[in-house]
């Protein structure tokens, strides 16, 4: 019987990665799932109710990992999925083969995040080459993680 229990515990439905919220309760700068991607809401407009229907909400969001613009329209009374987004700061330790070595508050290190592309990646490399002490901010949602910002250490 114990074998069966262990089997069930290891199975994950992925349901804890999002939670439902009524479309009309969403707010600008909040998060929402658009076309299966976690997005930050940058624009939100509500149309008036039609002769037979609901008010419609037009959502424009930016994918928090790819920075792509996504749009969706949904009735204001329907539920939308909101991703559980967590943000954590790590101290920058090193860069090896374009992978970052990061240390958290408890002293544990991780080397599984790639150096971001574009300006942010260049800023991280420049600060690292200068020997600066700084933190990188990692955003996590839907099983994906990526570096989204840097902060100077006090």
Alpha helices in the chain (DSSP H): 2-10, 119-129
pLDDT of residue 6: 44
Q: Tokens for 153, please give them.
A: 């250490």
pLDDT digits (tens, 9 = 90+) for 105-140: 999 999 999 998 889 999 999 999 998 899 999 999
Residue 36 vs residue 53, higher pLDDT: 36
Residue 11 vs residue 40, higher pLDDT: 40
CB 79 within 8 A of CB 33: no
Question: All domains of the chain, ordered by start, with CATH?
Answer: 16-83 (2.30.30.30), 86-152 (2.40.50.140)
pLDDT of 10 over the 80 cut = no
pLDDT digits (tens, 9 = 90+) for 42-91: 999 998 887 777 889 999 999 998 889 999 999 989 999 999 999 999 99
Grouping H, G, I as helix, E, B as strand and the rest as coil, residue 30 is coil
Grouping H, G, I as helix, E, B as strand and the rest as coil, residue 3 is helix
CA–CA gap between residue 127 and residue 71 (Å, rounded): 36
Q: What number is the average pLDDT over the span 84-100?
A: 92
């Amino acid at each position: 019987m114990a074998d069966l229990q262990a089997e069930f515990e290891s199975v994950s439905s992925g349901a804890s990665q999002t939670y439902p919220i009524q479309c009309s309760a969403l707010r600008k700068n909040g998060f929402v799932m658009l076309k299966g991607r976690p997005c930050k809401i940058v624009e939100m407009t509500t149309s008036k109710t039609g002769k037979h229907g609901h008010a419609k909400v037009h959502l424009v969001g930016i994918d928090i990992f790819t920075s792509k613009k996504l749009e969706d329209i949904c009735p204001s009374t329907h539920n939308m999925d909101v991703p559980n987004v967590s943000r954590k700061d790590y101290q920058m330790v090193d860069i090896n083969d374009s992978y970052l070595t990061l240390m958290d508050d408890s002293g544990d290190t991780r080397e599984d995040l790639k150096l971001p592309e574009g300006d942010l990646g260049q800023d991280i490399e420049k600060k690292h080459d200068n020997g600066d002490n700084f933190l990188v901010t990692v955003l996590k949602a839907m099983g994906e993680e990526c570096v989204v910002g840097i902060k100077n250490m006090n």
